Amino acid sequence: MPRASDLHGWTLISLRPRHRHGAVRRAASAQGARVLAISPYELRALDAGAALQAALRCPIRIASSPAAVAFAAAQSPLHGDWLAIGEATAKALRRAGAADVQSAEPQNADGLLALPILSDCRGQDIGLITAPDGRGLLESALPARGAHLHIAHVYCRHPLKLPVGVHRRLQALGQNTAVLVSSRAAFAEFWRQLDDGERDKIRRTLCIASSARLLEYLHGLGIRHLRLAPGTQPASMLAALREAIAANEGKG
């Protein structure tokens, strides 16, 4: 096994959308790891029209991802105060012109929902900029707390067929492999396209999940080697991987 201080000899499976693996590649390269980029879908713009304007008029506005910010900003200026899921989303909002942006730890929907501004939001109008089947927890939890939620779907996930070469590379993967799972939708589409043998291999592979809900989902699929990361950013997920390596070395 490699030292816990580096990831030399490891292969990281990235399930980000097409053309969006750059941050994972840079983080992995800095620590000596290789990346197998597998895109189960690509992102496509949706014209949110009046729904986006209604969300932007809300006193509380939430962006679910950097992609949500980019697709929204292409349709309308983004000003004022915002809540962001994760620091990467917060940075995207600031670049787009937001005046003040607040994020939370952990950098996921659970962390955002723990913020005081969302703990008591009965009667509040809240705008959510996202994609269909995106941050499902926000879409259910905020109305349950009494908020009037205005959702603007500014992009969608279009499924992509996994190339034959990806299946060959999955079959050839060695022991020092980890799957970085930051999206249930991405993993579900990836899983759907695997055959029984490939699924068995993933079940024996270490998976790093960016939230407790993702961890529970993966466990339900029969995946047993799991580690929780504090957020979706590559640095957070690679730190969790190093912790998992160190824990395994400690058992030795």
Per-residue pLDDT tens for 186-234? 999 999 999 999 999 999 999 999 989 899 999 999 999 999 998 888 9
Q: What is the pTM of this model?
A: 0.85
Q: Which of 112, 115, 105 is nearest to 130 (CA)?
A: 112
Task: Read off the tokens for 108.
Answer: 């996921």
For the chain, give the percent of residues with pLDDT over 90: 85
State residue 160's pLDDT score. Answer: 98
State residue 136's pLDDT score. Answer: 74
State residue 252's pLDDT score. Answer: 46
Q: Which of 182, 218, 221 is nearest to 88 (CA)?
A: 182
The C-alpha atoms of residue 155 and residue 134 are separated, in whole angstroms, by 10
Domains in the chain with CATH codes: 11-40+160-251 (3.40.50.10090), 43-157 (3.40.50.10090)
Quick check: 242 and 4 in contact, CB under 8 A?
yes
Within 8 A by CB and 6+ apart from 50, the residues are none
pLDDT digits (tens, 9 = 90+) for 142-197: 999 999 999 999 999 999 999 999 999 999 999 999 999 999 999 999 999 999 99
State residue 2's pLDDT score. Answer: 41
